[in-house]
Structure 1
Amino acid sequence: MRYRSTSRRAPLTSLRGAVLRGLAPDGGLYMPAEIARHSPEELEKFRKLPFTEVCFRVVKPFATPDVPEEVLWQIVSEAINFPVRLVSLSPGLHILELFHGPTLAFKDFGARFMARLMGYFVRGESRPLTVLVATSGDTGSAVAHGFLGVPGIRVVILYPSKRISEAQEKQFTTLGENITALEVAGTFDDCQRLVKQAFSDAELNKTAFLTSANSINVGRLLPQMFYHVAAYRQLPVASVPLIVSVPSGNFGNLTAGIFAKRIGLPVARFIASTNSNDVVPQYLRSGQFAPRPAKATYSNAMDVGNPNNFPRLLDLCRGRLEYVQKEIWGRAATDEETLCEMKKVHERFGYLADPHTAVGVFCWEAYKLEHAEPAQGLVLATAHPAKFADVVRKAIGSAPPLPERLAGCLKREKLSLPMSRDYEDFKQFLLAH
């Protein structure tokens, strides 16, 4: 498999080249040059195979010939060693729980796979690889735990000061070893801008061996196809179309969903479910993509005003608005609507949803109101509600039980370093360390 840039001005490269570079030299995002489709018969076999085997079969065409089969099998089996659970709230509404990994968030799939893949690719390198990652919440913890102790790799995580929950912050700022957390005096978009500037800085890249662990990196997106396929394996066979509601910030999750559809997954449409940072739903209505500074909301992992993966969505839809609209319907939820939905889901179904998942349910309900035709909804539950205890308490009057692995993080001392949002300060830090 070869990989090309969305800007189409960079040479084709291998999976190794795409993963270790992160961003293409022309500033574009790497995409598979082709996506092989599985037949309906093959997909039906997936229902009967062990999940690890399914993940291996899904990713193999994207990794050949860069990764030998036995190495790929080891990467998949070590990375994806936790369950994906489907909870049916009603015959027409299903929740896919993606938070049963080590850091209680869906990012564990991409981060754990990518850490092992990069570890394989950098074996024998004379200089250490520095992984830069901007986080609005869950990416930081998943990447930190995925890369902790991996030889030859150090991780620098940038996060917006006072804009993520304490549980999210403590999960990646207390580890030490090869993990450094920088608390940036700014927004997530500032963090993302600093990372992008570092990749485009020719002087810095002569000295430092840099790559990204954000969903800029195609190595993060490929394993996110796994749980879209996991849903298909567990969903009851139905003749009505499947609509997948994806809580969205940087849009890597939804991009991976369209990858999964391209390999044959029978999804009728995706819902881009956002909070008030709704630049993509607005684009779907107006045809104008207008990034703006991110606003702080209760669903903080989705507080993104300039989604990284928008060029990939356009690329998958041949750059035409009407094709994007055919694949994706968009809606936003305010903080008040999010709290209301959390309470409603809890009272109606006895189900405890974190704020991001509640946004997904709210937008599915909004879709149903505008589309009378029969459909079943699948909402991706992206994080454990205990990571957002204060918001859950606001919504239902009590905090969720705290899992032991999260309670342990909260007791540890924060080790993050302060950082301004000025690029020169960040550059000097990287050069000095």
Structure 2
Amino acid sequence: MQFYSTNNKDLRVSFQEAVFNSLPQDKGLYMPESIPQLDPYFIKNIQQYSFQEIAFQIANAIIGKGIPADDLKKIINEAINFDAPLVFLNSETAVLELFHGPSYAFKDFGARFMSRVMGYFSNKGDQLLDVLVATSGDTGGAVALGFLGVEGTRVTILYPKGKVSKVQEDQLTTNGQNIRALEVDGTFDDCQALVKQAFNDPELNQKLRLTSANSINIARLIPQTFYYFWAYAQLKSQGLNEVVFTVPSGNFGNIGAGLLAYKMGLPVSHFVAGTNVNDTVPRFLNSGAYEPKASIQTLANAMDVGNPSNWVRIQDLFENNFEELKGMVSSYTYTDEETKVGMDELFNKYKYVACPHTAIAYLASEAYRKEYPGEYASVFLSTAHPCKFPEAIDSDVYKQVKLPVGAENLHGKPKLAEDLEVDYAAFKDYLIRNN
């Protein structure tokens, strides 16, 4: 399988090149040259397969000969070594928990798979690989833990000052070794813009071997499809076949992966994107006009994105057919106050403690069911463990949170981060000076 740029379908590169280059020079994003269709027998009997077996079938279909089958199985078994369980709140509503990896967020799926793919393709004699990543909260922690100690790599994480939770910041800034953190006096969009500018700087790319760990990297997108198929397998084992997925959405990589899974043959009735007040996509679906705006800080900080990078991939999947896209994707937007109501409702009705992102997905799933009642399983995605958001959750509710193994070890470690203004020249100087 080869991959093209969303800005130039005549451009074709190998999977290895797409992974390491991350961002085509024409500033598009890489997509597979064709969407592979999975065997209907596999879909029909998917409940008979393990999570890792399902992941292999999907990755092998997309990557093809880019990685031999035995090597790909080894990568998957090492990277996807934790579960994504479906937890039913009632007979028609379930939450897909994606926070059982080492950083307690769904980003672990992409970060661990990508780090091992990069390690697989790297040779000992290669130039040091500089991995750049902008984070609004969870990506940085997942990438830091995914690449920590990986030979031949160095990670630089940019995060917005004062706009991530304490647990998120600890995961970003206490690692040392080959992980560096820059605390940017700006927004996530500013961090993302600095990273993109670095990739498009010919002089910098002559000096450093740069790649991205953000969801713009195709190696991040592919493993995020795995858990949609796994969720469907769990539904099938319960005798359920029709599903609507609701996804908390910021940079739109997560729901983009779900839509790729749908295009590959996963039977999904509809997708719902739940957003905070950063509502660029909901406004687009209502008006047809795509008008990015500056991001606004909210309780659901991992979704504080005003100009979602992955939206171009979603439009590409639907060949820019607005009506088809609107027929498959709905969206609802929530304020911080409404998000708090959602967290309270989940706890009061179901004794389920949720992070703000999960609460937004829950509210959106309930809104869609109210608007479109029917006999289907409503599955909303829980993308982060509530322990990462003590400031956002009611203190009495937060007392019910059980810390995952390792979370308590974050406290007390020294913060290893440098300050950075929103200044590309200063960022470039840092990278060259610390090479």
TM-score when normalising by structure 2: 0.97
User: What's the offset of the Cα at 1:392?
Assistant: 1.4
- Counterparts of 2:396 and 2:112, CA distance in 1: 32
Once residues 154 and 325 of structure 1 are traced to their aligned partners in structure 2, the CA distance between those partners, rounded to angstroms, is 41
Structure 1 Cα separation of the partners of residues 125 and 105 of structure 2: 31
| Residue 342 in structure 1 maps to residue 343 in structure 2 | yes
Separation in structure 2 between the aligned mates of residue 149 and residue 10 of structure 1, nearest angstrom: 38
The one-letter amino acid paired with 1:275 is N
In 1, Cα distance between the equivalents of 2:373 and 2:155? Answer: 48
Residue in 1 aligned with 2:418? Answer: 417
Which segment is superposed worse, 160-169 or 315-324?
315-324
CA offsets, 1:38-95, max 9 Å, x none? 1332113321122211111110122221212221111100000011111010111110
SS of residue matched to 2:391: helix
Supply the distance in 2 between the matched residues of 1:249 and 1:395 (Cα, whole angstroms). 28
Match of 2:383 in 1: 382
Checking the alignment, whether the CA contact within 8 Å between 1:134 and 1:157 is kept in structure 2 is yes
> Match for residue 82 of structure 2?
82
**1:198: which partner in 2?**
198
Q: Tell me what 1:97 maps to.
A: 97
Who is 2:402 aligned against? 401
Structure 1, unaligned stretches of length 5 or more?
none
Partners of 1:273 and 1:331 within 8 A in 2: yes
- Alignment map for 1:31-430 (pairs within 5 Å): 31-235=31-235, 236-238=238-240, 241-393=242-394, 396=397, 398=399, 400-430=401-431
TM superposition shift of 1:124: 4.0
Which amino acid counterpart does residue 63 of structure 1 have in structure 2? I
Contact 2:353–2:400 (8 Å) recurs in 1: no
Deviation at 1:201, TM superposition (A): 0.8
Amino acid at match of 2:311: F
Check the 8 A contact 1:107/1:142 in 2, yes or no. yes
Provide the rounded CA distance (Å) in 2 between the counterparts of 1:423 and 1:395. 43
Contact 1:204 1:427 survives alignment (8 Å): yes
Give the drift of 1:254.
Answer: 0.5
Unpaired runs of 5+ in structure 2? Answer: none
1:395–1:425: structure 2 CA closer, same or farther, 3 Å change rule?
A: farther
Percent identity between the two aligned chains: 46
Displacement of 1:394 in angstroms is: 5.5
The SS at the match of 1:108 is: helix
CA contact 2:353–2:397 (8 Å) conserved in 1: no
Question: Which amino acid counterpart does residue 383 of structure 1 have in structure 2?
Answer: A
CA distance in 2, matches of 1:75, 1:178: 21
3-state SS in 2 of match to 1:132: strand
| SS of corresponding position for 1:157 | strand
User: How far 1:372 sits from its partner (Å)?
Assistant: 3.3
Could you tell me how far apart the structure 2 residues matched to 1:373 and 1:229 are? 22
2:158–2:183 contact (8 Å) kept in structure 1:
yes
2:392 counterpart letter in structure 1? V
**Any idea what the Cα deviations from partners look like across 1:167-219, whole Å, max 9, x if unmatched?**
00101210000000000010000000000100111111111111100000000
Q: Distance in 1 between matches of 2:154 and 2:67?
A: 22
Q: Counterpart of 2:71 in structure 1: which amino acid?
A: V
> What is the alpha-carbon distance in structure 2 between the residues aligned to residue 140 and residue 397 of structure 1?
24
Change (3 A) 1:342 1:186: same
Q: Aligned with 1:272: secondary structure? A: strand
CA distance in structure 1 between the partners assigned to 2:148 and 2:10 by the alignment: 32
Quote the offset at 1:398 in angstroms: 4.2
Q: Which moved more, 1:415-424 or 1:385-394?
A: 385-394
